[in-house]
Homo-oligomer: A and B are copies of this chain.
Amino acid sequence: MPRFVKKQSHKTGLAPGSLVMVGEPKEAAPRIRRFDFDARRVEERDLAAADLDLPPEAPPTVTWVNIDGLHDMDIIARIGRRFGIHPLTLEDVVNTGHRPKFDDLEEQLFIVFKMLDFDPQTDHIRSEQVSLVCGDGYVVSFQEAEGDVFEPVRSRIRKGRGRIRTAGSSYLAYALMDAAVDRYFSVLETIGERIEDLEREVLSEPDRETVNRIHELKRELIYCRKQVWPMREMVGMVLRSDSDLIRDDLKMFLSDLQDHAVQAVDTLESFRDMLTGLMDLYLSTMSQRMNEVMKVLTLIATIFIPLTFIAGIYGMNFKYMPELEWRWAYFGVLALMAVLGIGMAAVFKYRKWL
């Protein structure tokens, strides 16, 4: 559940703008990577905290500083000073329990979104918060921990593929968001496969763990929705923003990104409907099996209880029971029992109870 509400209690009582990390702090020192590139050249460097005082290159060069790890408040504060980031914005950066959002801060764009990952070991969806501060000629990105989601973007910068080296800082910000949404689809693929597996399981051989598995997938879906829904809104807000930082030719890419986000939401809704349907199917399958078992019980009981009663009658020890003396009584009773038993089975068959 800590995934759903991050502990903020230790933050209560601080002034807005105080830098306190909300979330699980990582042990390792944050890694700071810096790219400077323009159409012709790329410079890639790992920075120490002290190097942060270097000024970014002036445009047309784009500087991308990526910080992996949010627990070192000193580094966060330095970066804040270095790029002129508002304290309230920095507070949002380190509060990893934040909702995806977009703020147009005149000189800068501030974008918060979530990266999703399906952890195959725990079968849980992990989410990680990414914050982007995008100004003229620079993008600062903050991640909770090192990850490989931005690797494709790095590779494109290194190789100069596409327009990434020439289209300015807001295109870089777009490319980072696009990489995150691409990852959403791989999470959705995994969920889709799980649903398919579960459906096969329910239809062939459901067991008592099946319902727990459906429940867990449902919970993951709820979690996933909580992260993806606001992404859609957020991209819409970027698209409708009239910031000077967003060049006109970026709109088309952003609109494409929004299409992808909407599609992710659509797919989640479909999955939700399918899981609900699966639960219904499971329950009705279970009750059907139960019915079959009960029918067997009923068959056996209703056939043999009367027969046993008849046997009980002739097991009584009354002195005067004329039938007991009859020559063929025993066989007659056996025949009667056979007729009764077969007759009742026939009635059941006829009424389609079996």
Binding site for B on A (CB under 8 A): 1-2, 4-5, 7-9, 11-18, 86, 88, 92, 97-99, 101, 103, 105, 151-152, 155-156, 161-164, 175, 178-179, 182-183, 185-186, 188-189, 192-193, 195-196, 203, 205, 208, 211-212, 215, 218-219, 222-223, 225-226, 229-230, 252-253, 255-256, 259, 262-263, 266-267, 270-271, 273-274, 277, 279-298, 300-302, 304-309, 311-321, 323-330, 333-334, 337, 352-353
Contact = CB atoms under 8 A, between A and B. Distances in A.
A313 B329 CA distance: 13
A101 B274 contact: no
B320 A317 contact: no
Given A16-B256, A211-B288, 4 more contacts: A5-B192, A14-B152, A297-B301, A316-B333
B302 A305 contact: no
A118 B109 CA distance: 38
Contacts of A326: 318-320
* 6 nearest A-B pairs in the assembled complex, by CB-CB distance: A15-B162, A13-B152, A311-B312, A314-B316, A1-B196, A318-B330
A1 B193 contact: yes
Contacts of A266: 99, 226, 229-230
A26 to B, nearest CB: 22
A305 B299 CA distance: 11
A288 B209 CA distance: 10
Contact of A281 (B92, B211, B286): B211
Contact of A253 (B88, B259, B291, B320): B88
B223 A270 contact: yes
Nearest to A330: B318
Contacts of A315: 311-312, 315-317
| Protomer copies | 5
A197 to B, nearest CB: 9
Contacts of A316: 311, 314-315, 317, 330, 333
Nearest to A306: B304
A267 B208 CA distance: 30
A229 to B, nearest CB: 8
Given A15-B164, A280-B279, A318 B311 contact: no
Nearest to A9: B186
Nearest to A159: B15
Contacts of A155: 13
A280 B275 CA distance: 12
A290 B291 contact: yes
Contacts of A11: 182
A324 B318 contact: yes
Nearest to A277: B218
Nearest to A11: B182
Contacts of A314: 316-318
A88 B312 contact: no
Given A12-B183, A99-B262, A317 B324 contact: yes
